Amino acid sequence: MIKRLLVGILTCLCCTFRPPRRYFLTMRRFLTRMVSRLWLCEPVAVAMSSETPVRAQGRRRMVVGLGNPGMEGTRHSVGMAVVGALAVRLGLGERWRRDRQLNGEVLEADMHHLVLLRPRVLMNVNGVAVAKAASKYGVRPEDILLVHDELDKPLGKVGIKHGGSARGHNGVRSCMDCLHTDVMPRLRVGIGRPTGKTSVERHVLGRFGAEETKVLDLVLVQSVNVLMAQLGEQEEEERRSSSPSQTKVASVDPLPTRT
């Protein structure tokens, strides 16, 4: 009970705390890490090392839609919308279930050795849910694909980034802090920068406008196509690496690629 109270207080602080500008980023990151460490019951780094055992039927992968709970439809939570669209494409849109232990909504697509996750904690501590899910399902960091909004891409543009820095995205940074690595690939979904005097914070937390919504449907289709292609390539690579002596890979129905 006391632990939950401390987590709640620190979570509010890390999202609303406004010290002098010169100390803002340092203090906010410090508070966010404190929340993550309190929330995680045990270190996850050991379970998530490259020594994580591979299941007999193949390596399990996880796709995570980063965002804020209760703020679906906002630019900052577009990653959640993409993962929801992916579930529908796989014909599993009705199989989401709430997992309080993981602080998120999960969906298991066993036929594809795939787990979908939508964290139900604030963006700044999304990494807590990701780390817990990765530990529970035995998913390696390099097999976790993060889907998130990207200010530096206009709406309608998406792209894959293979690890590296968080580029200022707090949700990605939280995942890096909790998993203790930056190897996770990401699908960056463009939302564009604000125009006029609108602040970045107000822009990302705001809902898509009427004209943007017309484009958003196409963006979701495009994003799911990219995800399917990426997952299909990973499946093909795994099959090849598991059969090094074979010159021809057995015919197996892969994940659908982009249409």
Model confidence band, residue 24 (pLDDT cutoffs 50, 70, 90): very low
Q: Are 119 and 257 in contact (CB under 8 A)?
A: no
pTM above 0.85, yes or no: no
Model confidence band, residue 31 (pLDDT cutoffs 50, 70, 90): low
Q: Which residue has the tokens 């039927």?
A: 57
Q: Which of 47, 52, 75, 83 is nearest to 231 (CA)?
A: 83
Q: Are 148 and 172 in contact (CB under 8 A)?
A: yes
Catalytic residue among 76, 112, 113, 148: 76
State the pLDDT at residue 177.
92
Q: Are 192 and 153 in contact (CB under 8 A)?
A: yes
Mean pLDDT rounded to a whole number for the chain: 81
Helix runs in the chain, H state only: 2-16, 21-39, 78-89, 126-137, 170-179, 200-205, 210-242
Q: What is the pLDDT of residues 123-177, one digit of tens each?
A: 999 999 999 999 999 999 999 999 999 999 999 999 999 999 999 999 999 999 9
What's the average model confidence in pLDDT over 214-240? 89
What's the average model confidence in pLDDT over 72-91? 96
Q: Per the structure block, which two tokens stand in for 47? A: 């379970």
Q: Is position 162 annotated as part of the catalytic site?
A: no
Q: Is 155 helix (H, G, I), strand (E, B) or coil?
A: coil
Using CA atoms, how far apart are residues 121 and 175, in angstroms rounded to an integer?
12
Model confidence band, residue 114 (pLDDT cutoffs 50, 70, 90): very high
240 versus 204: the higher-pLDDT residue is: 204
